[in-house]
């Protein structure tokens, strides 16, 4: 089995590319969605976050997302501690998911922060989705109905595209000049030849 990471900055088209891989029968684990689910439901995460921030974080049994965000906002040290609580649970969940999909030759994980969270160590190959910055900003503003400043703020906290491309095995260019399906099909073709 080959484990493929799919990454790229906000608005680059990761979700779009992941959907194309799914259409080619590659199951995709969406790290962002699954980590949010685990933060809301995992007793291990709840216990550790409560020890760090107090019982009010889960008042009424539900995670107070705004409170968590306020605690880690602009506090890199706290953010790293929270990540050290969440990431091992996501890694374990991904390993379980992968075992449940052992009949597939290729499985994928989509993660915006694949390199930042060092999840690339669990991947055999990594695809980066590259879109020029201005296009990413415009697509994200349109998709999320938010202003430029908010998008820029999120981009500022992510690793640069140059660095991501350097660390990736494949780059999918999503600027509208090249077929996405064609690029995805070509990557799958190359992965299948590795797998033989
Ligand atoms: P990400 O998951 O990386 O944040 P998305 O896949 O959600 O990015 O893409 C961001 C937005 O841009 C979405 O609204 C998506 O439909 C749109 N989009 C993605 N690729 C293209 C494209 N090639 N042309 C036009 N719009 C696109």
Domain that holds residue 52: 39-100
Q: Tell me, yes or no, whether 117 and 189 share the same domain.
A: yes
Q: Is the shortest distance between the CB of 16 and ligand 1 below 6 Å? A: yes
- H or E, element range at 34: helix 31-41
70-109 exposure pattern, b = at least 16 Cβ within 10 A, e = fewer: ebbeeeeeeeeebbebbbebbbebbeeebeeeeeeebbbb
Residue in 12, 16, 194 with CA at minimum distance from that of residue 106: 194
pLDDT in tens, 105-148: 999 999 999 999 999 999 999 999 999 999 999 999 999 999 99
Q: What is the mean pLDDT of residues 144-163?
A: 93
Q: Is the per-residue pLDDT at 183 higher than 90? A: yes
Residue in 123, 154, 125, 124 with CA at minimum distance from that of residue 137: 154
This prediction has a pTM of 0.94
Q: Tell me, yes or no, whether 13 and 81 share the same domain.
A: no
pLDDT bin (cut points 50, 70, 90) of residue 165 is very high
Of the candidates 83, 100, 117, which is a domain's last residue?
100
What is the total count of domains within the chain? 2
In a domain, 34, yes or no: no
DSSP code per residue over 109-142: EE-TTTTTTTGGGG-SEEEEEE--HHHHHHHHHH
Q: Tell me, yes or no, whether 54 and 119 share the same domain.
A: no
Q: Is the shortest distance between the CB of 15 and ligand 1 below 6 Å? A: yes
Q: Probe ligand 1: pick from 5, 10, 11, max atoms within 8 Å of CB?
A: 11
In a domain, 33, yes or no: no
Other residues' Cβ atoms within 10 Å of the Cβ of residue 140: 21
Give the pLDDT score at 74. 82
Q: Probe ligand 1: pick from 110, 139, 158, 173, max atoms within 8 Å of CB?
A: 139
Closest CA to ligand 1's atom 24: 176
Give the pLDDT score at 96. 98
Q: Is the per-residue pLDDT at 157 higher than 90? A: no
Q: Tell me, yes or no, whether 61 and 144 share the same domain.
A: no
The pairing of strands 170-173 and 125-130 is parallel
At residue 123, φ and ψ (nearest 5 deg) are -105, 145
Give the pLDDT score at 196. 61
């Amino acid at each position: 089995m080959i484990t493929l990471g799919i990454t790229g900055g906000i608005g680059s088209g990761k979700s779009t590319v992941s959907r194309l891989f799914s259409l080619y029968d590659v199951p995709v684990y969406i790290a962002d969605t699954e980590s949010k689910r685990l933060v809301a439901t995992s007793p291990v995460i709840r216990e550790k976050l409560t020890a760090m921030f107090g019982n009010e974080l889960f008042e009424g049994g539900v995670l107070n997302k705004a409170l968590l965000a306020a605690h880690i906002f602009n506090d890199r040290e706290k953010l790293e501690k929270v990540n050290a609580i969440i990431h091992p649970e996501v890694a374990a969940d991904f390993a379980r998911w992968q075992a449940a999909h052992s009949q597939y030759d290729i499985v994928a994980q989509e993660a915006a922060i694949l390199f930042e969270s060092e999840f690339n160590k669990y991947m055999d190959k990594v695809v980066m989705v590259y879109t020029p910055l201005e296009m990413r900003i415009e697509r994200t503003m349109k998709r999320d109905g938010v202003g430029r400043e908010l998008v820029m703020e999120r981009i500022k906290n992510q690793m640069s595209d140059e660095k991501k491309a350097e660390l990736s095995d494949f780059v999918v260019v999503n600027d509208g000049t090249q077929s996405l399906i064609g690029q995805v099909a070509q990557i799958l073709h190359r992965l299948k030849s590795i797998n033989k």
